[in-house]
Amino acid sequence: FGGTKIDTMAAPIDHTVSDEARMLASARPRGGFDFSLCGRNEVIRQAAAGATGTMPRAMKTGTTLAGAIFNGGIVLGADTRATEGTVVADKNCEKIHYIAPNIYCCGAGTAADTEHTTALIASQLKLLQLNTGAGSRVVTAMTLLKRMLFRYQGHISAALILGGVDTTGAHLYTVWPHGSTSKLPYASMGSGSLAAMSVLESSYKEDMTEEECMEL
């Protein structure tokens, strides 16, 4: 710069690494695959297999709905798991839906379809009750459900067990997504219905007490 000489001095660089820095570098996770859990998995496999030499298999039953009539009323039951493929989306899903004070409905299939279908029928049944001044009947709720589902030709994924008690007694119906219905003393629906039906068919009897029906 105009013949002016500039003296530059480089500061000395300290290449020593502290013990704390070494510890942080060693604790930092490195890239690649980690097989450290393979030994743990082998220990668990041997312990779980035991004398049989085979690992226990997980049981998957899917949605299980059940209903049964006893002497003077009905009992409805359902699980609470909602899934999206292999993912448990909701561990506390309500599958027993309110229709009227004396009528409830268990739903299997698409959770949104069952909730909105039962809510719509509950609204229609309430309007009918206000117009007529009479109590809600189970057969009326069943008719409203089957007519709505038949209109959509199975595109609403709602498989239902409808149960209630009215002036004519206790009633239990199954309502399929296409609109077909059956009146039964006991019923099960859902992808886990076969396991439930085997218990119902072997143990159900007429004129059960409420305690016996709840135990079943």
Residues with active-site annotation: 63
Distance CA 203, CA 167 (A): 28
Chain center to CA of 110: 10
First to last CA, the chain: 100
Distance CA 90, CA 50 (A): 34
* SS3 category, 81: coil
Distance CA 123, CA 10 (A): 84
